[in-house]
Chain A
């Protein structure tokens, strides 16, 4: 779920000017595209959560607060040895502490450095309430999800335009009796095929991921796999088969290909994952640790990984957040400018970023 983007805080002198993430409404396109990805589909009945879809529209800018967990991750990414297998970083923490936005920050950082980004904004959407489920043509046991696959291909195309013509596929793929993509054609054609023939979209996604994984070792590009809500891949689904029994996630082709992608049997990039209890199915509300959310299967699949805890705001971060809101005139209540008001906000939100945002929305 997209939380309010908060202001940039120059954290000591470790930041170089490349890290300033202050984007206007026109640029950066990629960040805006990713921010839009994370918005759930416009639904007139989605009134339970107030429309916090567009900080760009409200503030005329998109800002992120630079915080310690993200900085730690960026430092690790800078020091990666691309000859070793891909390291998996898992962002975990309480609800509303900023895991998704730290992930966004990392994605932005890598995009600025021209990595190839494979970003899944919310893996929970793939295991819930899918309208068109088809039997996969490739494997009889699995199911396709054309709508989700097509959406993902669209955002992948916008995010990685340049690479689509550079990367050439290494095998011939037969879509059906009449259509096929030859070996040596650019990856863009596979993506186009998936977008035009929506029935083949899931297979197109599988092919794209497979090709990227095999070719990342060559060194032509650096690959970043960023998945939010990764506990969905090993949880339970609410999708039903024809005989009304619930499916396991392995039976979904998209989940199957993504699971292969987050294994550490490739090198030339990194894998950054964020856990999320908010959209997950059949998990207790208080669960936030990797062991609780991923379950035994998921934990063993992801083991070994680097866990990164994302916690509530420190006093300086809280102060900085309030200052940002005051500068943008988002806090309009006259008492919010006073010391009393700030103390009350701190008490009510307990320095939790998500809660503070919801409080300041109506003040």
Chain B
């Protein structure tokens, strides 16, 4: 993904470089999220298979690219990105969102405890169930996690648009990354705020993930509420101009 140019001058909108979000930029504001790398820096390649391919199997394109990488500038890989086979970008993103005060160690351990808790609950259910039901019970915590987040993603969202001095909530289609972000955000907020103070995060999270996996629970309800509001405000849809 090409990073936008480092410093954007005051008063110059970033329309030329591609809008990051659908929210309209007012003049006089600069892009908040930008990278220190200039555009010629390329992303690091952490896939071990890429480097293990023998020379004979490479196509012309790939050979060209490898030659290019020898001279081009490459960004530093972040500390959390590894070449491990067990790495999952969705889980990494979720861990980053759960992190508070830069305590990645704690966030990661909470995530691993959650996955373990999900696994154990499913194993208990598995052993208590009859033979036909055992085939339907999913025991892989990663599939449960991915499916639960997919179930929580809203299809349509609401955006405040200023018209005639009032802000109206206008229904708008959401890009994929916004949907994923909202699903994760709702999940984490639900677990942090709506539960009893003394229960631990892995316990709360594993319970919520399992409910979301079965399309039940408060996060799914929030998604449905969002859809209903969008349906109710259908008349304002023409306020959207993109």
0/1 interface trace, chain A 122-162, chain B, CB 8 Å (1 if under): 00000000000000000000000000000000000000000
Contact in complex: A361, B116 (CB < 8 Å): yes
Residue B34 CB within 8 A of the other chain: no
Does chain B have a CB within 8 A of A58?
yes
Contact call A329/B112, Cβ cutoff below 8 A? no
Whether, in the assembled complex, A81 has its beta carbon less than 8 Å from a beta carbon of chain B, the answer is no
Question: Cβ of B120: which chain A residues have Cβ within 8 Å of it?
Answer: 51, 58
B84 CB-CB contact with A under 8 Å: yes
Residues A332-363 near B (CB distance < 8 A): 332-336, 338, 340-341, 344, 361-363
How would residues 119 to 150 of chain B score, 1 for a CB under 8 Å from any chain A CB and 0 otherwise?
11001100100000000000111100000000
Docked-complex contact A363 and B86, CB < 8 angstroms: yes
Complex contacts, B182 vs chain A, CB 8 Å: none
A332 lies within 8 A of B202 (CB)? no
B49's nearest neighbour on chain A, judged by CB, is A340
Contact with B along A36-75 (1 / 0, CB 8 A): 0000000011010011000001111000000000000000
Digitize A296-331: 1 where CB-to-B-CB distance is under 8 Å, 0 elsewhere: 000000000000000000000000000000000100
Give the docked Cα–Cα distance between A44 and B124 (Å): 19
Complex Cα–Cα for A362 and B119 (A): 8
Q: Which of chain A's residues has its CB closest to B200's CB?
A: A47
Complex CA distance for A58 and B128, rounded to whole angstroms: 10
A362 near B198 with CB under 8 A, answer no
Q: Within 8 Å of chain A (Cβ to Cβ): is B96? A: no
Q: Judge whether A362 and B124 touch: CB under 8 Å.
A: no
Cα distance A76–B142 when bound, in Å?
47
Q: Which residues of B contact A362 (CB under 8 A)?
A: 112-113, 115-116, 119, 141
Q: Please encode chain B, from 84 to 95, with 1 for each CB lying within 8 Å of some chain A CB and 0 for all others.
A: 111000000000
Residues of B within 8 A of A45 (CB): 198
A334–B139 alpha-carbon span in the complex (Å): 12
A41 to chain B, nearest CB (A): 17
A336 to B139 Cα, complex, angstroms: 14
Chain B: interface residue total (CB-CB under 8 A): 22
Q: What class of interface size applies to chain A in its complex with B?
A: 20 to 34
Q: Is B117 an interface residue (CB 8 A)?
A: yes
Determine whether the beta carbon of A335 is less than 8 Å from that of B85: yes
Shortest A191–chain B CB gap in Å is: 35
Instruction: Output the least CB separation between B201 and chain A (Å).
Output: 8
A335 vs B142: C-alpha distance in the bound complex, in angstroms? 12
Determine if A344 and B198 form an interchain contact, defined as CB atoms under 8 angstroms apart. no
Interface residues as binary, A207-234 with B (CB distance below 8 Å gives 1, 0 otherwise): 0000000000000000000000000000
CB of A17, distance to nearest CB on chain B (Å)? 27
Closest Cβ–Cβ distance, residue B107 to chain A (whole Å): 14
Closest to A57 in B: B124
Choose one: A59, A60, A332, A341; the contact of B85 (CB below 8 Å).
Answer: A341
Instruction: Check A333/B142 contact, CB under 8 A, given A60-B127, A341-B86, A344-B86.
Output: yes
Chain B residues contacting A47 (CB-CB under 8 Å) are 113, 200, 202-203
The interface residues of chain A lying within 8 Å CB-to-CB of B86 are: 333, 335-336, 341, 344, 363
Whole-angstrom CA separation of A332 from B137 in the bound complex: 13
Contact of B84 among A329, A338, A344 (CB under 8 A): A344
Chain A residues with CB under 8 Å of B113's CB are 47, 50, 362
Q: Are B116 and A333 in contact (CB under 8 A)?
A: no
Complex: chain B residue closest to A343, CB-CB: B85
Q: Is the CB of A332 within 8 A of B140?
A: yes
B139 touches A340 (CB 8 A): no
CA of A44 to CA of B127, assembled, Å:
24
The distance from the CB of A295 to the nearest CB of chain B, in whole angstroms, is 33
Contact A344 B127 (CB under 8 A): no
Whether A332 lies near B84 (C-beta < 8 A) is no
Residue of B nearest to A60 (CB): B127
Known contacts: A50-B113, A329-B139, A362-B116. The answer to whether A338 contacts B202 by CB under 8 A is no
B103 shortest CB reach to chain A, Å: 15
- When chains A and B are docked, how far (Å) is the Cα of A340 from the Cα of B47? 13
Which single residue of chain B is at the shortest CB-CB distance from A328?
B123
A344 to B117, CA, bound (A): 23
Say whether, besides A47-B202, A341-B86, A344-B85, A332 and B112 are in contact (CB < 8 Å): no
- Chain B residues contacting A335 (CB-CB under 8 Å) are 85-86
What is the CB-to-nearest-CB distance from A218 to chain B, in angstroms, rounded to a whole number?
46
Within 8 Å CB of A361, what residues of B?
A: 112, 116, 119
Top 9 closest A-B pairs, CB basis?
Answer: A332-B140, A362-B112, A47-B200, A362-B115, A335-B85, A361-B116, A362-B116, A340-B85, A50-B113
Interface residues of A (CB under 8 A from B): 44-45, 47, 50-51, 57-60, 329, 332-336, 338, 340-341, 344, 361-363
Further 20 A-B residue pairs, CB within 8 A, beyond A51-B117, A332-B119, A344-B86:
A44-B199, A45-B198, A50-B113, A50-B117, A58-B124, A59-B123, A329-B139, A332-B139, A332-B140, A332-B142, A333-B140, A333-B142, A335-B85, A341-B86, A344-B85, A361-B116, A361-B119, A362-B116, A362-B119, A363-B86
- Can you list 10 A-B pairs, Cβ within 8 angstroms, ordered by A? A50-B117, A332-B139, A333-B140, A336-B86, A338-B85, A361-B119, A362-B113, A362-B115, A362-B119, A362-B141
